[in-house]
Amino acid sequence: MPANDRLTDGQGPLTLLLAHGAGAPMDSPFMEALAREIGATGVRVVRFEFGYMQKRREDGRKRPPSAANTLKKAFREQIDTLTSESPVVIGGKSMGGRIASELAAEADLAAQGVIGCACFGYPFHPPGKPDRWRTDHFKALRMPLLILQGTRDPFGRQDEVTDHLTPLLPAIRLHWLESGEHDFKPTRQSGRTQDDLIREAASVFSGWRAGLEVDGHG
């Protein structure tokens, strides 16, 4: 178990500030694998935990996530410690990516050195409730957004999401991971593994972020 501070993987001229999902900590197997693969592409990956997850680590009691405004405040505090060091991409797994994307729609982050946002398994809607979209803020994005999504993700399957996002796609790069679930786990019949899809997501992220650096910080 790590202490309640941040975890850092890799080195490079750009930092990915990566938040966890609602139910798993910053050192879950998925977060460990994702940070390792992205770090191997020449990006510094910094993981952190929201306060409710830190408390769970301390006493073992499961807690629901804090209110969105509380999570955004905690995310901003982490950004403030990084933006003087290097350009930053904010992002996260599931809920962490959603909070990052909401921040990416706010006006002041670009001035702090934040140049993009990346979401790994975006929770487009609650499972089984495709009428409750969590995308209104996408219309106000102030920076490029990358979404890596499994085609079988119950929080937003390919057929649902493609039609819904079509009007917004100029501002959003959406990459589908074939057969992937919310944690990028594919079916056995696909012949691929979760590690394969995490590696693919890291490769797509690497190509996408290279464009950000050329455009804004090359």
In tens, the pLDDT along 126-166 reads 999 988 999 999 999 999 999 999 999 999 999 889 888 87
Name 212's Cβ contacts closer than 8 Å, sequence gap at least 6: 14, 87, 89, 115, 116, 144
pLDDT score of 162: 84
pLDDT score of 1: 41
pLDDT score of 169: 66
What class does CATH assign to 7-217? alpha beta
Task: Give me 139's structure tokens.
Answer: 């219309």
Give which of 28, 8, 6 is closest to 183, Cα–Cα. 28
Q: What is the pTM of this model?
A: 0.93
Phi and psi at residue 204, in whole multiples of 5°? Answer: -65, -40
Give which of 5, 82, 8 is closest to 39, Cα–Cα. 8
Given a cut of 70, the residues of the chain with pLDDT beneath it are 1-5, 169-170, 213-218
Q: Is the dihedral of CA 84, 85, 86, 90 positive or negative?
A: negative
* Rounded CA separation 202/120 (Å): 10
pLDDT score of 5: 66
